[in-house]
Amino acid sequence: MKNKVFGYCRVSSKEQNEERQILSLKNYGIEDRDIFIDKQSGKDFDRKQYSILKNVLRENDLLVIKSIDRLGRNYNAIMEEWKDITKNIKADILVLDMPLLDTRKNKDLLGTFISDLVLQILSYVAEQERSFIKQRQKEGIANAKNKGVKFGRPKIEKPSNYDYVIELWKNKKIMSKEAMEMLNLKPNIFYNFLKEDSKNL
């Protein structure tokens, strides 16, 4: 049976674009059907497509990724996964942006030592970058709050005719649908207001 070559892409959110990674993998000669894509944080390896990929990966297959941070951003987890794939599954890994990280080459002791060293440094850098991103986000939110920026959905105010319409509704003079139309409110907001009213009784 011929050894297979698989590609793996990851972006942190659905809004981010994975095209650059896919193009790199296709340029390497990997077909669409053999490329697995996750749109998820790299903090751990609990990812659907990555799990499927690991289930189909066999001895002497090759896993190709564009850069080490696409595999993940947690130092210890990257090292564990790398070890699991190369030692337990006995598949190879190639990192396109860092040709030194190609487990098919330099399988002697010195080569393994060098690639392990590079892997450790890059894994550490990936995790540090994740920490910096989180820190920048915290600082950005704190700064915005200091400037009076409000987060979350804006509070919806009750319409000026709310009490009058609700009184009609309570006295069964109008139906719920009519009340919503008169107040120009969606059902979920209408019932949320009623729930608030009942708490305040």
Write out the two tokens for 138.
């915290």
Helices 187-199 and 162-170 cross at an angle (nearest 10°) of: 80
CB 103 within 8 A of CB 86: yes
User: Which residue in the list 12, 24, 41, 131 is annotated as catalytic?
Assistant: 12
Q: What is the CA radius of gyration of the chain?
A: 27
Q: Can you tell me whether residue 94 is helix, strand or coil?
A: strand
Task: Give the C-alpha separation, 196 to 201, whole Å.
Answer: 9
Amino acid at 155: K
For residue 191, the surrounding DSSP H or E stretch is helix 187-199
Task: Starting at the earlier edge strand, list the strands of the sheet with 35-39.
Answer: 35-39, 5-11, 62-65, 92-95
Known catalytic membership, residue 67: no
* Residue 40 DSSP class: S
Active site residues: 12
